[in-house]
Structures are given as C-alpha cells and as structure tokens.
Structure 1
Amino acid sequence: MKSQIVTFLIKCPDQKGLVAKITNFFYDKGFNIVSCQQYVNAIEDTYFMRVRLNADGTDISKVSLEKSFLELATPLDFDWSVNYGDKKQNVAIMVSHTSHNLYDLLERSKEGRLDCNVKVILSNHDKLRPIAKMFNIPFHYLPVTKDGKEVQEKQVMDVLDANEIDLVVMARYMQILSSNFINRYPERIINIHHSFLPAFQGANPYKKAYERGVKLIGATAHYATLDLDEGPIIEQDVKPVTHESTPTTLKIIGADIEKLVLARAVKCHLNYQIIVSGNRAIVFPEAGE
C-alpha cells in the first residue's frame, strides 16, 4: 500500500477489550496509529471509534486489509467503513436564489480549505450562473415546472451520476427532495437552514423572528432524510442579538453564521469525521490533520 493516511470509522456494541483488539490488529499489519478517537454512548451501550493510520512501510493490499479486518469485525458486530485518502471526493452544490453559501464554498474549495472537487452547480433558477462562470464550474439550470418535479429530479440525478458525485450540498436549495432522491444518496446530502425551525417556517423567517423578539439566531447543517429538516445534525452555531436588530440585520447575521456552519459540516464529511447512529451524528473533532 502506498504512503497515505487510512481512516477507519467503527461503531459497535460496547464491550471489554475493544481498544486492545483494534489497535493490536493494526499493529500486527504494520500500520502506525496517527490518532485514535473514541466515544462511548453509555445510554445506548454503543462504542464509536475513528482511527487514522499511516500506511508507510506496509505491503498489504486494500483487499487483503479489508478481508482481514472483516474477520475481526464480524464476531464483534462492527459497523465499519474505511477511507484510503487516495482521491478527492466529487461535490455537487445545489442552489436557488441566495448566493452567500455558494460563494463561500467555492472560495474555500479554490483555496484548498475544502479538500474536494466541486464538479457541478445545479439550480432551479438561472440567477446564479455568473458565479459558476466566475469559478469555471459547470452550471445546470433545471427549472421545476408545475407538473414536472419528478422529471426535474430525474434530470438532477442524471447529472449527479454522470459526474460521479460523492456529496451533494444543498446551499439554500429551496425545493423539497423526494424520498426517491434522498434514498439514492443516503448520508451524502448535506442541507443548511436557519436554526429557528420548527418555528418560523416558510418565507421571511427573519421578519417573523424580529416580530417575536428573538435573542438568539443561528444555523443548522444536517444530513437530509425523509423527515424534512430533521436529519442527523452535523454542525450548529448561534449568535446573540438584541431588540435593536432589524429584520435586515438579522438576515445578514444569519447568512454569516450559515456560511461557517455549512463549511464546517462539509469539511467534517470530507475529512471522514462523522458516524451516523440512528438520527444522531457523532462528529469527531479534527485530530491534527
């Protein structure tokens, strides 16, 4: 195996000796453990681990490694996955009208702060095409007609599949995705929205927040699931506001928080830091990478 960092994510019932069994396995295979992060959910009696390995000096193939690890994993009831860090993930960004999240993600990707290839931008409106042109990213305008939502989603999925997309980012894409769409990309669609939900749904949430005199505003990034805006939460942030804030200033502050929250969520996914357990996302912090 070439020099690279290999990352294993492991979830299993909590039991004695897990750390020793797992770390000894990798030691025996010639790996150097760069970092080992653990979390035990005592309520659900579940163990989680993220372990990063330096493959320098090992001569085991990917197939042999996974076959050998399966022999350890099966009797211990592991739910596990492995990433070899040998290719950047392909990302698609879906947008409607607002541009702040799109600009931010494209800038971070261009500067190397997000380790990915933004392959395509898709929108149900043509408004943000100039931004795609500015960053030299293909833009697909796929409008939703009155009776053509199913057709439009098929067009979107065709574009995603043609570009071998690994992650879909809904950067304020203001359409509800069908169950067929979501089930096609499980735990591979990240959505961003204001943190007022389930309150202040629909249009003008910041006006509604102003009218209620809210004292905190924020944003939530989560995986999209069949339950609208209720998928596993990856990242959140809030900022205090006062009675002096207007609907306009609330919207500006909210947009700034959205950019940071969405970028952090996308980075965590790209860095292989997340294990989904039920409707919860276990998000391990960066470990020096």
Structure 2
Amino acid sequence: MPTAVLLISCPDRPGLVHAVAEFVLAANGNVLHAEQHVDREAGVFFQRVEFELDEATLGRDQVATAFAPVANRFGMHADVHFSDERPRIAVLASREAHCLGDLLGRWRAGELPAEIVAVISNHADHAALATFSGVPFHHLPVTPDTKAAQEAALVELLRGYRVELVVLARYMQVLTSTVLDAFPAQIINIHHSFLPAFVGARPYHQAQQRGVKLIGATAHYATADLDEGPIIAQDVEPVSHRDSVADLIGKGRDLETVVLARAVRAHVEHRTLVFGNKTIVFG
C-alpha cells in the first residue's frame, strides 16, 4: 500500500505535533516518519509526516478533507501527497550532457520516483540520448529576437505534457517571467558554486587562477533573481594547486550531477517546503 505524506506549515504554537499525531491515530494510520522544524525568528512551524494507510479508516481521496478541520484550527497550509505519485518531469538542457545523461540513467534504473516525459533543448545535440532512453525530444532553438516566441512555445509544450517539475540540467538560457510564473517553485536549476566571486564565462579558469581550495555545486528553485532562488542542495569538494582547469571542470561536473539528482529526488519525494527565499528540506 502507498503511504500518505502531509507537508505542513503554520504559525508556531503548542499542540501542533500532538494534533497531527492524533489525526493519524484517529484514522488508524501508522506513522513511519515524522520530522519538524521551527523557524524561531519568523515563528513558523514546518512538518513532514509520512504514514501508512494499510489499516486506515480513510481512503486516500478522503485524507485531505478529513485533515481540513485540523488545518483550519491551527491556520495550517497543508498539502497531501502519496508515495506512489510519480510527478511528471521535463528536463531542459543545452549542449552539455552530463546532468541530462545522469538523470536519465537514474530514472531508467528506478532511482527517481517520477516520470521523465520530455527532453527539451535549444540545440539538437541530445536527440539520440533522449531516444535511447525512450523519452520524446523537442528542439526549440532560440535567439534574442525569438526568445519571447520560444518561451511561449516552451510553456505550451510543458503544459501539453502536464509537467509538474521542470529541471534545468545545464540549460544555458535565462528564463523570463513567461516560464517562471507558469511554474512557481516547480523549476530546479543547477550551477557551480563560485558565484558571486567568479561570474560570467570560464568560471573554472578564474577559480584555477585564483588558487581556490574548494569547488562546489548548488541546486535551487529558479526565480526572477538569477541564480539566487531558494537552495535545495549543495556540496563541495577540496581541490589544490595540483588540479588543472580540466581537473576542476571534471570534478565540478561530477558534483553537479550528484547535487542536481539529490535536489530532484527531494522534490519528487515531497521533502521540500519553500519559505521566503529559503527551502526547508526534510531528511
């Protein structure tokens, strides 16, 4: 039987954990995982509760309605998900294939509880890779003069596939409000973590010339503030003066694939809550 997941946020006050646990108990459910966090500065409570429905007195289509009185009593924003849901993902990429190939490989291996329904690129390079993985490929070229029309076509394509998550797997185009507003907190981006120190082109060359000792990667939800959206996952790796630019680029690509996959998995497993410009990520 699939499990149910409650994702909750509300003003902090006594009795919240008890009320949620009492609801699950009254429904004859069995809590498997429960994790909560309180933002002391903002006074906001966050919780993720996953529970079994095997012996529950509620059907899955009744959980949200049954929980509504609890949510109303405490002023909760509550989302209900189920472990057998497989969110529909579109992956966008440009010329680099490492993140795209890694996600497709993990998906084919059953590591991502989701469905990759489309690969979309502003270049034609990845058609064979998408076809090999059994995923439809769409080439949407773009120039500065055609960007508005290309993004309108992109949104139409994403909606046609009923996409629930857009993954920018090294998609080297800045998205405008046309796309961002259509998928709020549903677009995940990946980039190196040299920002804001080394902006622009050739960041690994800049880093190597400065003798950096750490390289990293950041995955975050895309917003109108370029590369400054709520962070989901990050990681770093030590490097030294012995590493060439090629070494740094290779290590950076490895980090990008792992960090992006970690962020996508957290999202599709319903482990993330966006609060302001940061993200609560439950374990």
Q: Shorter-chain TM-score category?
A: over 0.9
Q: C-alpha distance in 1, partners of 2:2/2:102?
A: 29
Matched, 1:111 2:109: yes
Name the stretch that deviates more: 254-263 or 201-210. 201-210
TM-superposed CA distance for 1:62, in Å, is 4.2
- Structure 1 unmatched ranges of 5 or more: none
TM-superposed CA distance for 1:63, in Å, is 4.8
Q: C-alpha distance in 2, partners of 1:85/1:238?
A: 30
Q: 1:146 to 1:14 in 2, by over 3 A?
A: closer
Instruction: Tell me the SS of whatever aligns to 1:207.
Output: helix
1:12-41 C-alpha deviation (Å, 9 max, x unpaired): 111111111111011112211111111122
Instruction: Tell me the SS of whatever aligns to 2:225.
Output: coil
Name the stretch that deviates more: 47-56 or 71-80. 71-80
Give the residue type in structure 1 aligned to 2:228: E
Instruction: Tell me the SS of whatever aligns to 1:74.
Output: helix
Identity across matched positions, percent: 42
Instruction: Tell me the SS of whatever aligns to 1:184.
Output: coil
Q: 1:26 aligns with which of 24, 27, 42?
A: 24
Give the residue type in structure 1 aligned to 2:162: E
In the alignment, which residue of structure 2 is the partner of 1:251?
A: 249
TM-superposed CA distance for 1:278, in Å, is 0.7
TM-superposed CA distance for 1:43, in Å, is 2.0
Q: C-alpha distance in 1, partners of 2:272/2:240?
A: 35
In the alignment, which residue of structure 2 is the partner of 1:52?
A: 50
Instruction: Tell me the SS of whatever aligns to 1:26.
Output: helix
Instruction: Tell me the SS of whatever aligns to 1:75.
Output: helix
TM-superposed CA distance for 1:85, in Å, is 2.7
In the alignment, which residue of structure 2 is the partner of 1:230?
A: 228
Q: C-alpha distance in 2, partners of 1:36/1:252?
A: 38
Instruction: Tell me the SS of whatever aligns to 1:119.
Output: strand
- Aligned-residue CA RMSD in angstroms? 1.2
In the alignment, which residue of structure 1 is the partner of 2:80?
A: 82
Matched, 1:278 2:273: no
Q: How does 1:111-130 map onto structure 2 within 5 Å?
A: 111-130=109-128
CA contact (8 A) 2:114 2:268 kept: yes
Instruction: Tell me the SS of whatever aligns to 1:144.
Output: coil
Q: C-alpha distance in 2, partners of 1:165/1:6?
A: 22
In the alignment, which residue of structure 2 is the partner of 1:15?
A: 13
Q: 1:177 aligns with which of 175, 178, 185?
A: 175
Instruction: Tell me the SS of whatever aligns to 2:250.
Output: helix
TM-superposed CA distance for 1:115, in Å, is 1.2
- Structure 2 unmatched ranges of 5 or more: none
In the alignment, which residue of structure 2 is the partner of 1:218?
A: 216
What TM-score does the superposition give when structure 2 sets the normalisation length? 0.97
Q: 1:100 aligns with which of 98, 101, 105?
A: 98
In the alignment, which residue of structure 1 is the partner of 2:146?
A: 148
Matched, 1:193 2:203: no
1:97-125 C-alpha deviation (Å, 9 max, x unpaired): 10100110000000001111111000001
